[in-house]
Amino acid sequence: MEKLGPGDTRRKSELRYTLHLMRQNPIVLVGIVLAIGSVVLSLISGLIINPASGNTQDLPLRLCWNNPVTDWGVHNLFVCPGAHVYPLGTDAYGRDLLGMIILALPLDLEIALTIVASAVAIGVGMGAVAAYAGGLLDEAVLRITDVFFSIPGLSLAIVLVTFFSHSLFWLTTAVLVVWWPTYVRLIRSQVLTEKEKPYVEALRSTGAGRLRILFRHIVPNSIYPVLVQATLDVGGVILVFSTLMFIGFSPSPLLPELGNLAHAGIENVFIAPWLVLFPGLTILLIALGFNLLGDGIRDALDPRLRR
Amino acid sequence: MLQQAAVGKEVALSIRGLKVVFHTYAGDVQALEGVDLEVHRGEILGLVGESGCGKSVTALAVAGLLPINAEVTAGEVLLDGRNLLEMNREAVRITRLKDIALVFQDPATYLNPVLTIGLQITEALTSDLKVFADELIAARMTNLQTAGTRSPEEEKELESLRRAKETHELNKKEGKRLASLRALDYLKLVRLSEPEKVLGMYPFELSGGMRQRAMIAMALVRRPRVLLADEITTALDVTVQAQILELLKDLRDKIDSAIVLITHDLAVVSEVCDRVAVMYAGSVVEVAGLVEFFSNPTHPYSKGLGASILRPDTNTENLESIKGSVPDLINPPSGCRFHPRCPYAFQKCPESKPPMTMVSPGHEVACFLYGG
Amino acid sequence: MAQYSSLVELEDLRKWFPIRSGLLSRTVGYVKAVDGVSFKITNGETMGLVGESGCGKTTLARTLLRLTAPTGGKVLFSGKDMTKAKGKALREYRRMTAVVFQDPYASLDPRQTVKSAITEPMKIHHLVRGKDEANQRAADLIRLVGLNPDHLSRYPHEFSGGQRQRIAIARALAVSPEFLVLDEPTSSLDVSVQAQILNLLKALQKDLKLTYLFISHNLSVIRYMCHRTAVMYLGRVVEVADTARIYQSPKHPYTHALLNSAPIPDPAKRKRGVVIEGDVPSPVNIPPGCRFKARCPYSTDRCAKEFPKPVQVRPGQWVECLYDLDLKVEYSPGVRA
């Protein structure tokens, strides 16, 4: 009876090495904190802030600021009446901006994750099948993605939203349509490499069908670059999505969404600069967090950079 | 422990007590555990062992090519009395250039695909002309002087060479020309057909066997004191391997170098080697002359290996294998590293590493059964 | 002529790969990897297939197993024509045959546990009912190949090369096949591990009544394992005979050259010089006449023009040579103490 070979030390060391690589890079840690922080915050947002406060308007309080930290150098700053200190001021409808930002987090993240997850599902599905089947199907799928790549993403999204409607559904769908082709390319190149490997032929010789080989064996072995890209894309999608809202395509002006909040601030940027600044900063931090996290995962998993 | 030099043969390379550790995230790999080895001028020494025994690591240590995470924790590598491990970087580089040559297993990956064979062979010579100038001049002069008749151009060349010999200097153009001529000589030596053509060819235009010959030429053109050949026939077809082995036997008589042939194949050893050194899990466990080794393998590992090899010329009735498997070098067995698999192990074996003891002149074994 | 109960029969099997060139990808020629191979493998025997790189032995195995479609000729299994089998018949063929590949590191899905790798073929062919039966059978198989049932939950990278080959063998046996193709199964392994695996294969053949096609470039391994041997050169089988006979008195100059080239682990016997020069050719431009003539020390003008058709020397022994040569494998005296 044989004892286990030297491999079990290898398994422990892989994990340790991966963690070590991630720990070594402080920037990645920042990314992890930002990304996970925003997710945690969005999960508990309903507990901190009353969701109904998104619907209440308090017009006498609109665009006011009473946080003593700064006065923005604004000429005729409207100082909020009353004793309550609004840490980030109020928005165009008199709502506490900080509260609105916290309320907006779950919405933005949820939409971003929906878009990314759907794009991955569609892209991986199409790309894996096309790459494994090869031939005309592969050619066709490649040409379709080529078409999508040649259209500027934002413009396509705007056209779709204008054509259909400003609802959240169509906004989400518009960004999804722009996003999925990347995953086709990613999974395709991985599958093309994996399918030549000996274990695939071994599986064929046992009588495994093509679908089984593709989705139970090849795709799981090809998925790492897709995961990395998906993490990076959470940030990217939030940027695009909030930009759409920012330029005016939101379903309702009161909707607590980061881009939407900033939209109201454009007109009033000289009297209430915080209204553009803080939602924008939040978007920046979330996108940055996921970008750094994705970079960190990619570097840790890249076989060439490893010892 | 020193080994007895074969009568009348000078020691070219001597490795004593070499210990190498690899620092990895899984732990420290005790790759070499005190290697003692001597190679004599003009002989072919077979260094045999299975995967993980440390034969390649030994070669890399001698050539100074260990990776960054390797640490030499003890021992010395003596080339003409100088300890290579204690020399500074520049001295090591010159030594690697001039005195030690390494030929690897897979010529396809060890040859630069975008440079011609000629360029790759002469690169070593021309990169540091100072080192090779004297040799190149002397070799060309000998060629010209021993030729029957000389043309007027050759006379002129001889004259300028004489002058260069005085000054020990060679300009770049002259250097390249002489290096090319030398490369040609060595391509002929390794029996490549149409050597002039080969000089200008790229690696992909050559077959596997031809590439291996080119690599050998590349190694020998520097006239190294020691040639380390690491599994050079493992990736070759059997008919091509036969040609390369014939070539090695031929070369051994023609050149002055000490050749270490690293292999896992005892049949290859039997074909070309003069002496055999067996390695297991980081140290040398047996050294003997070729015939003595095959007729009287002493170390239990050697015996186990002998019982597990197959031959094409007779039927093998009882193929035995050595029970167990190669040890984990991060947590190696204590004392003699072979003891967990040894059918003759007794209580002394896990206690300490057995020293090399002499069984007969020229035949040494590291096993407590025979002393120590 | 005696009737054989042959399990596998190849009739003039061909596998050609088209070479495409130009803008329109026109076929300008063929790589004739397998170019007319015929032999039979009897039930319960181990047939050896030996040759150097480029001879087509791996392609032959893949074509025989229908992992790639034959270009011509026939593959018969238990008398049934499998050459163009599809659907259910092909699946049945897959159940009755299995392969063990050379590279133990790449032939297992790295993300699949050992248990999953072994039970998957059983599930594909509906050979077990329920997880418990599958797990039981997996445990039996893993013990059969000399490993421990608690290895089942581990991943391939945790094992050594020899252990992975055992796992690959267990997987091959999962469907209780009748015929196993072993493509260089021990070439990547150490010598002492090789001995273990070869002995295991021999024991399994006896206990489970298996038929093997054993492919290797190593003449010593072939001699040990195989009852009969086929020698391949440039897409054709140039000689087939009982192993003992081929190794003692080959009739084809290439076989003779191979045997003369193989080194012997015995200093008293060294190879007899270099019998053939040149390199192993590639199957792209195959000249007319005998394919071996360029390297053959006995070739004549006739060999360049006439194609040597298979000649039966005695029942079960065939050779493709225009001449009836009696070649002896000799050794030079070698080194004495």
pLDDT one-digit tens code per residue, C110-158:
889 999 999 999 999 999 888 899 999 999 999 999 999 999 999 988 8
CB-closest option in B26, B69, B324 to A10: B26
Which chain C residues in 109-148 lie under 8 Å from chain A, judged by CB atoms? 109-112, 120-121, 124-125, 146-148
Please report the DSSP string for B280-328 in residue order. Answer: ETTEEEEEEEHHHHHH---SHHHHHHHHT---SSS--S-----SS-PPP
Nearest chain B alpha carbon to C219: B312
Question: In 3D, which of B226, B286, B267, B251 has the Cα closest to residue B95?
Answer: B226
Mutual angle of helices B172-189 and B117-127, in 10-degree steps: 130
Q: Is C157 on the interface with A (CB under 8 A)?
A: yes
- B98-139 pLDDT per residue, tens: 889 999 888 778 888 899 999 998 888 888 877 888 888 888
What percentage of chain C has pLDDT greater than the value 90?
Answer: 60
Question: Does the distance separating the beta carbons of C199 and B321 come in below 8 Å?
Answer: yes
Q: Is B328 on the interface with A (CB under 8 A)?
A: yes
Total residue length of chain A:
307
User: Any idea what DSSP says for residue C286?
Assistant: P
CA–CA min distance B331, chain A (Å): 10
Which string of b and e fits B132-159 if b means at least 16 CB within 10 Å? bbeebbebbbeeeeeeeeeeeeeeebbe
**Most confident by average pLDDT, A250-259, B310-319, C64-73:** C64-73
Question: Does the distance separating the beta carbons of B330 and A10 come in below 8 Å?
Answer: no
Question: Which residues is B82 bridged to in the sheet?
Answer: B79
CA distance C147 to C196: 12
Do C32 and C235 meet the contact criterion of CB atoms below 8 Å apart? yes
Handedness of CA B195, B199, B200, B203 (dihedral sign): positive
Question: Does the distance separating the beta carbons of B50 and C263 come in below 8 Å?
Answer: no
Do B59 and B5 meet the contact criterion of CB atoms below 8 Å apart? no
Question: Does the distance separating the beta carbons of A201 and C67 come in below 8 Å?
Answer: yes
Residues of chain B found within 8 Å of residue A16, distances taken between Cβ atoms: 25
- B205-242 pLDDT per residue, tens: 888 888 899 999 999 888 888 999 999 988 888 888 98
- C147-198 pLDDT per residue, tens: 999 999 999 888 888 999 999 999 999 999 999 999 999 988 888 899 999 9
Do B226 and B39 meet the contact criterion of CB atoms below 8 Å apart? yes
pLDDT of residue A294: 87
Question: In 3D, which of C189, C270, C52 has the Cα closest to residue B267?
Answer: C270
pLDDT of residue A146: 92
pLDDT of residue C15: 94
With a cut of 80, say whether residue C252 has pLDDT above it. yes
Give the mutation candidate from A10, A139, A205, A222 for the C interface (greatest C CB count, under 10 A).
Answer: A205
What mean pLDDT value characterizes chain B? 88
Q: Is A303 on the interface with C (CB under 8 A)?
A: no
CA–CA min distance B137, chain C (Å): 35
What is the ipTM metric for this complex?
0.87
CA angle (C299, C303, C306) in 5-degree steps: 170
Question: Does the distance separating the beta carbons of B25 and A17 come in below 8 Å?
Answer: yes
Backbone φ and ψ of B229, nearest 5°: -110, 105
Residues of chain A found within 8 Å of residue B24, distances taken between Cβ atoms: 13, 307
pLDDT in tens, chain A (307 residues): 334 444 444 555 666 666 676 667 777 788 888 888 888 888 888 777 777 777 777 777 788 888 878 777 777 778 888 778 888 888 888 888 888 888 888 888 999 999 999 999 999 999 999 999 988 999 999 999 999 888 888 888 888 888 888 888 888 998 998 889 999 999 999 999 999 999 999 999 998 999 999 999 999 988 888 988 999 999 889 988 888 888 888 888 888 888 888 888 888 888 888 888 888 999 999 999 999 888 888 877 765 544 3
CA distance A287 to A306: 27
User: Any idea what DSSP says for residue C4?
Assistant: P
Residue B6 CA to its chain's centroid (Å): 18
CB-closest option in C52, C161, C195 to B308: C195
- C273-323 pLDDT per residue, tens: 556 777 777 778 788 888 888 888 888 888 888 889 999 988 888 999 988
Q: Is B266 exposed, middle or buried (0-12, 13-18, 19+ CB in 10 A)?
A: buried
- B149-197 pLDDT per residue, tens: 778 888 888 888 888 888 877 788 888 888 898 899 899 989 888 899 9
CA distance B288 to B365: 9
CA–CA min distance A34, chain C (Å): 31
What percentage of chain B has pLDDT greater than the value 70?
Answer: 98
Residues of chain A found within 8 Å of residue B26, distances taken between Cβ atoms: 9-10, 12-13
pLDDT of residue B127: 83
Residues of chain C found within 8 Å of residue B316, distances taken between Cβ atoms: 223-224
pLDDT of residue A6: 44
Question: Does the distance separating the beta carbons of C159 and A206 come in below 8 Å?
Answer: no
All residues at 6 or more sequence positions from A10 whose CB lies less than 8 Å from its CB, including other chains: B26, C157, C158
With a cut of 90, say whether residue B343 has pLDDT above it. yes
* pTM for the model: 0.86
What type of residue sits at position C271? K
pLDDT of residue C66: 93
CA distance C61 to C183: 8
